[in-house]
Structure 1
């Protein structure tokens, strides 16, 4: 298996040839070329619409991190807010309308996938309530494939999710992409995704912040026969 931190001579040669035949492209495009399938890299040498691919690759990366407010939240216990004592004859001011219910939704709000507390618990048990990188016990449950990208349906094939997965096919074989899709979207790419324990990982708060910004990645190297241990490469 190729070490992406030390690219193979074949990849280096292909990248050098690619650099000679294309114009200036974004860092996102070059980053994808560092880890993509070698066969896909070979095909890019003969691609006539490389600038369009460059643009859509940048959009793919933007889509991945476009909704940070929906990404996984810290899993630390919440501190209850002290309640003020209220006299029995007190009530809302006539000029002040009562606050709306906390979970009130507007009619045009899209239905979203509720987070599964049981799956979160299983992830904590699997990772032994410790950060998988540092081993410390102060943890947050992080999503591998972002939650905001699976939580609701997409209306049509011009949406960002569909374009994201379609662009992945430029860099990896169709069979591999189809397998990934089926794990996250068993009902189809336009439907809500499926929340599963294999899409969660325990990280320390600082590590989680770096993970959310895409400042490091983990590459699976090998899995134990009982599927309880996974060796990964950090880069």
Structure 2
């Protein structure tokens, strides 16, 4: 029997306990609202509930607000979001815009000029049958990373330490360890399981966070995964946000502005939020 994920992408906003904790946090901050950056707002809403409880407890203590503001400032300084969204690198280093995989009869690119494993990339292309997982385009595709390549084993030094330390404010040690075990393992971000085949356009949209894929169900043999496709609404930059802010219409139906769209190359149908994609 397949494992099913029933929660919607915005289910955290409907959780009564999380709503109550965020309301308490807003009350504790009072006149300090302008120090809550969009990054902190997002992390608070999707954090583990245990960590959110701990944050609210800290806010209730003497000098707790000052402590939290300092720690929140560290998260912003770590460039958490900026590091995460650096999915694409300089064109001169990407080496994935043309060419064919050795032994594969497809113009889908798998070249690796920066030392990454071409074998793992070839495996990903074969697994995806050379087609873009979103548009089903059958050629001239690219291999993209799910977890950003730039945050893999080569992400070292102070920046790396600040990144992982920032996560520890919002998620438990066990959660972070499980992520590290997968991401920083022997094959790291270059592992086939962290690679997907996308059309050039879908790859750009993916790197710009214009859409997201939400796991829905996993087959019993772990070989088939159903995911939901969702366009992501683009927001203008703000320096601060109310902790209880909840955007309406998070997921545009079929366009995120500027006529940016994707189409199923087999049917010609426009790809919309809520569509189901089967990954094998």
Same fold (TM over 0.5): yes
Q: Secondary structure at the match of 1:129?
A: coil
- 1:178 corresponds in structure 2 to 177
Asked if 2 retains the 8 angstrom alpha-carbon contact of 1:142 and 1:200, the reply is yes
Cα distance, 1:118 vs. partner? 0.9
> Pairwise mapping of residues 1-235 of structure 1 onto structure 2 (< 5 A)?
2-6=7-11, 7-10=13-16, 11-22=18-29, 23-24=33-34, 25-47=36-58, 48=64, 49-58=67-76, 59-65=79-85, 68-69=88-89, 73=94, 75-78=96-99, 114-137=115-138, 138-150=140-152, 152=154, 154-155=156-157, 159-186=158-185, 193=188, 195-235=190-230
Q: Partners of 1:182 and 1:13 in 2: how far apart?
A: 33
Instruction: Give the direction of change, closer, same or farther, for the CA distance of 1:67–1:146 in structure 2 (3 Å limit).
Output: closer
On the 8 A contact 2:145/2:189 being kept in 1, the answer is: no
Deviation at 1:66, TM superposition (A): 5.2
Aligned CA distance change for structure 1 residues 68 and 221 (closer, same or farther; 3 Å): same
| TM-score, with structure 2 as normaliser | 0.60
Cα distance in 2, alignment partners of residues 40 and 124 from structure 1: 39
Shift, 1:70, TM fit: 5.2
The unaligned stretches of length 5 or more in structure 1 are 80-111
Number of equivalent positions: 196
Give the drift of 1:153: 6.2
Shift of the 18–127 alpha-carbon distance from structure 1 to 2, 3 Å rule, reads: farther
SS of residue matched to 2:190: coil
Counterpart in the other structure of 1:90: none
Query: By how many angstroms is 1:215 displaced?
Result: 3.3
Q: CA RMSD in A?
A: 2.9
Unaligned runs of 5+ in 2: 1-5, 59-63, 101-112, 231-280
